A and B are shown apart, each in its own frame.
Chain A
Amino acid sequence: MTAPAPPTIEPPAAADPRTAEGPGRGGRTGRLLESLSRTPGQLRVALAVAVLACVLVALVGFRAGTDQSDSVDAARNGADRSVALQEVRADLVTADATAANAFLVGGLEPTAQREDYDTRIEDAAAGLAGLARTGTVEDAGRIGEVSADLTEYTGLVEQARANNRQGFPVGSAYLDSASTLLREEMLPMLDELGDDASARTDARFDDTATALLLLALCLLGLLALVAVQVWLARRTHRVLNVGLATATAIVLITGVLGTALLASVRGTAVDVRSGPYTSATALAAAESAANGAKSSASLGLIKRGSGEEIEVQVDASLDEAFDALSEADASSTASGLADDLQAWSDEHDEIRALDADGEWEAAVAAAVDDAPGASNDLFDQYVSGTEEAIVAEAETVDSELVSAADRAGVGAWGLLIGGLVGAVAAWRGLHQRIEEYR
């Protein structure tokens, strides 16, 4: 093989024995077959294959990148929504715990607790309104029901207050009705919404993997380019077609870089899901569960001396809270929070012991005490610590996923541009060859 081989070595016509029978075929198909049987025709096909391969890489890569970017965005929205739902739940349970605890104090509730209750209810109402705006129609319907129940709930608590201020025992029955409404209607509905939201979020997180599968299609493009090159090298006896080689290199490099980028996005999504996202929802669940325990603890004291039965609920809620905290263990703050909750739990055990010994007044005094180190103060520490941690985790989820979506977007455009530049290079390389036959 002597290079460079002049193109005249293979004359444009009659080199292929098959052309002999060509004219007999006639018609369009015949002409097409005839042109394919000659080198320029075959080169045109090769050109088309190479360009299409590059365009395929460009389009599939772009699609994979934007898909992944969309999935990451959707996962972020879903995660936000799951956390927001958990926060509404926590607000409601906290409001209930505050109302029940304030009730223990007597006719005139402490201003600070009243304000805390009001803030919680406002936050929950605002949270529900936000969730109703952004969710599905079905979600909006269910959130509407919770909002309607919330109006009834606050009405019952107001009636409990009004009666309590006058010293009427029916006040405690109103409070009981309010808590029952919360526990039996509102929380199950919110839990349902939360389950749906987290299932959807999980699905979006899963979607971030399918983009990578799509990217595997780009390999086909790369293989086609290589095949064209091998064919060309054999046919023209030239080792390298610069244009085609450049195209292959560009496609290979952008493909590798794009895949690496999208894989890193997927990695971020996986990490966020198992890390800050799981922590945020677990922490919010821990906040709800602990407040449930506190509500039950107050209710246990309101029932004076018969609190042992309710104690089962306190224990169950505390177990739930500790479990949730251990789920959130990835964050360093969780163990500190578990200590805070344990401190309250220990204090609560002492209060229960007082009530069981008939020292009800002392038990109530301890349960409503908010001096530093006392029951309410310990609990507030736990709750504010948990809320700070939730906010921090939610912010991490947000910023990590925003940057991941951005990277997926960069990957998308990179693959598109790389593929198109590759297509141009391939076209130029082969077009030059075809020109040599004119």
Chain B
Amino acid sequence: MDVARTSLPVADAACTDATASYAPDGPLPAPDDLPDGSTMAEIRERGSLVVGVSADTLLMGARNPFTGDVEGFDIDVLHAVSEAIFGDPDRLVLKVITSGERIEVLESDEVDLVARAFTVTCDRWEQIAFSSVYYDAGQKLLVPTDSTATSFDDLDGARVCAPEGTTTLASLDDHPGVVPVPATTHTQCLVLFQQGKVDAITGDDTILAGFARQDPYAKVVGEPLSEEPYGVGVRQDEVDLVRFVNAVLEQVREDGRWQDSYDKWLGDLGEATPPEPTYGREP
């Protein structure tokens, strides 16, 4: 009992605010002036920034079949980091991963960064580190255009799809009325939805907006059921890289690049301003 009592508050104290990241280490250094021995210098030495992304999440990270490029709001953030390290936004090596693989590709050293609609949580902080929040998404519902449902309460007995290994799927446990249907990827959920095998999809509004754009018979509804603050995933021990990415994000928020990218990809979701970063975490 005592052990449990003392250990719980300690864990809480380490992570009272999941969105709090490591503060930038002063202003962003020039690409040719990266600190010696830093993770960034290592990446620059290597010649490319290896990143884990989605290639099928329209608007966030999706392969444009006409150009072959992977593009979206997540990808723009990574281009900004590449620009800061190399002075060239296109030094990215993209590895397409599923949402279930986001943590393991960082832990196994396969990628430097993950930007794939990645919600910052205290649980995940125990395995990896996050940048400051670059977008505040919210979990919503995708339903057929003729549906009147606006929340889980209206979906009693309905089959609701969410991808495996995500907080979204776990969140369905809070709604005993719905039948959770897992799929390998979020896009597979859209396939099941279009085939009539599920009645609704739940997920971040960013992802659902991309689905609605691909399917004129689907709409995104409801107030955000949860807050899904997106951060860039970094390996836990690479605190210098986290600080560096945060400095990049500071710049992106201030010089209008964030707004341009938002308007280009997510403008359908309404007006938005860059989320204020929170810091205060120490390794």
> What's the nearest-Cβ distance from chain A to residue B60, in Å?
10
Contacts of B50 in A (CB 8 A): 358
Interface string of A139-177 (1 = CB under 8 A from B): 000000000000000000001000110111111111011
Contacts of B94 in A (CB 8 A): 304-305, 358, 360
Cα–Cα distance between A106 and B210 once the two chains are bound (Å): 19
Contacts of A169 in B (CB 8 A): 55-58, 62-63, 65, 187, 210, 214
Known contacts A169-B214, A302-B55; 18 additional CB pairs below 8 A are: A106-B66, A169-B56, A169-B62, A169-B63, A169-B210, A170-B187, A170-B190, A170-B194, A171-B65, A173-B187, A304-B94, A305-B96, A306-B97, A306-B101, A358-B93, A360-B68, A360-B94, A361-B68
Interface string of A298-321 (1 = CB under 8 A from B): 000011111000000000000000
Give the contacting residue for B96; candidates A163, A166, A304, A364; CB below 8 A: A304
Q: Residues of A at under 8 Å CB distance from B?
A: 106-107, 159, 163-164, 166-174, 176-177, 302-306, 358, 360-361, 364
For chain B, the bracket of interface size reads: 20 to 34
Give the contacting residue for A167; candidates B64, B93, B97, B194; CB below 8 A: B64
17 contacts between A and B (CB under 8 A): A106-B66, A159-B194, A163-B214, A166-B214, A167-B64, A168-B214, A169-B63, A170-B187, A170-B190, A170-B194, A171-B65, A172-B63, A173-B191, A177-B188, A303-B96, A358-B48, A361-B68
Cα–Cα distance between A170 and B96 once the two chains are bound (Å): 15
Cα–Cα distance between A311 and B101 once the two chains are bound (Å): 17
> What's the nearest-Cβ distance from chain B to residue A366, in Å?
13
Supposing A172-B56, A304-B70, A305-B93 touch, asked if A164 and B65 sit within 8 A by C-beta, the answer is: yes
**Residue contact B185 to A173, C-beta cutoff 8 Å:** yes
CB closest residue in chain B, given A103: B65
Is B79 interfacial (CB 8 A cutoff)?
Answer: no
| 6 A-B pairs with least C-beta separation | A358-B93, A305-B95, A169-B56, A173-B187, A168-B214, A304-B96
> What's the nearest-Cβ distance from chain B to residue A179, in Å?
12
> What's the nearest-Cβ distance from chain B to residue A102, in Å?
11
Cα–Cα distance between A107 and B56 once the two chains are bound (Å): 14
Contacts of A173 in B (CB 8 A): 56, 185, 187-188, 190-191
Which B34-88 residues sit within 8 Å CB-CB of chain A? 48, 50, 55-58, 62-66, 68, 70
Cα–Cα distance between A348 and B44 once the two chains are bound (Å): 30
Cα–Cα distance between A412 and B49 once the two chains are bound (Å): 79
Contacts of B70 in A (CB 8 A): 304
Cα–Cα distance between A348 and B221 once the two chains are bound (Å): 46
Cα–Cα distance between A360 and B48 once the two chains are bound (Å): 13
Interface string of B2-36 (1 = CB under 8 A from A): 00000000000000000000000000000000000
**Residue contact A107 to B95, C-beta cutoff 8 Å:** no
Q: Specify the main secondary structure of chain A where it touches its partner.
A: helix
* Most chain B C-beta atoms within 10 Å of own C-beta, residue among A159, A173, A302: A173
Q: Specify the main secondary structure of chain B where it touches its partner.
A: mixed
Contacts of B215 in A (CB 8 A): 170
Contacts of B194 in A (CB 8 A): 159, 170
Contacts of A163 in B (CB 8 A): 214
Which B192-229 residues sit within 8 Å CB-CB of chain A? 194, 210-211, 214-215
CB closest residue in chain A, given B105: A306
Q: Residues of B at under 8 Å CB distance from A?
A: 48, 50, 55-58, 62-66, 68, 70, 93-97, 101, 185, 187-188, 190-191, 194, 210-211, 214-215
Contacts of B96 in A (CB 8 A): 303-306
CB closest residue in chain B, given A167: B65
Cα–Cα distance between A168 and B190 once the two chains are bound (Å): 11
Cα–Cα distance between A173 and B211 once the two chains are bound (Å): 12
Contacts of A304 in B (CB 8 A): 55, 63, 70, 94-96
Cα–Cα distance between A176 and B214 once the two chains are bound (Å): 17
> What's the nearest-Cβ distance from chain B to residue A257, in Å?
67
Contacts of B214 in A (CB 8 A): 163, 166, 168-170
Contacts of B68 in A (CB 8 A): 106, 360-361, 364
> What's the nearest-Cβ distance from chain B to residue A175, in Å?
10
CB closest residue in chain B, given A169: B56
Cα–Cα distance between A304 and B65 once the two chains are bound (Å): 13
Contacts of B62 in A (CB 8 A): 169
CB closest residue in chain A, given B98: A306
> What's the nearest-Cβ distance from chain A to residue B246, in Å?
25
Contacts of A358 in B (CB 8 A): 48, 50, 93-94
> What's the nearest-Cβ distance from chain B to residue A210, in Å?
53
Supposing A177-B188, A177-B191 touch, asked if A168 and B58 sit within 8 A by C-beta, the answer is: yes
* Most chain A C-beta atoms within 10 Å of own C-beta, residue among B48, B65, B215: B65
Contacts of A305 in B (CB 8 A): 93-96
> What's the nearest-Cβ distance from chain A to residue B276, in Å?
32
Contacts of A106 in B (CB 8 A): 65-66, 68
Give the contacting residue for B188; candidates A171, A176, A306; CB below 8 A: A176
Contacts of B188 in A (CB 8 A): 173, 176-177
Contacts of A174 in B (CB 8 A): 191
Contacts of A171 in B (CB 8 A): 65
Cα–Cα distance between A177 and B50 once the two chains are bound (Å): 29
Contacts of B101 in A (CB 8 A): 306
> What's the nearest-Cβ distance from chain A to residue B215, in Å?
8
CB closest residue in chain A, given B61: A169
Contacts of A361 in B (CB 8 A): 68
> What's the nearest-Cβ distance from chain A to residue B79, in Å?
15
> What's the nearest-Cβ distance from chain A to residue B197, in Å?
11
> What's the nearest-Cβ distance from chain B to residue A187, in Å?
19
Contacts of A159 in B (CB 8 A): 194
Cα–Cα distance between A170 and B54 once the two chains are bound (Å): 12
Cα–Cα distance between A159 and B215 once the two chains are bound (Å): 12
Cα–Cα distance between A360 and B58 once the two chains are bound (Å): 20
Cα–Cα distance between A107 and B194 once the two chains are bound (Å): 20
**Residue contact B56 to A170, C-beta cutoff 8 Å:** yes
Cα–Cα distance between A118 and B50 once the two chains are bound (Å): 39
CB closest residue in chain B, given A106: B65
CB closest residue in chain A, given B111: A305
> What's the nearest-Cβ distance from chain B to residue A110, in Å?
14
CB closest residue in chain A, given B49: A358
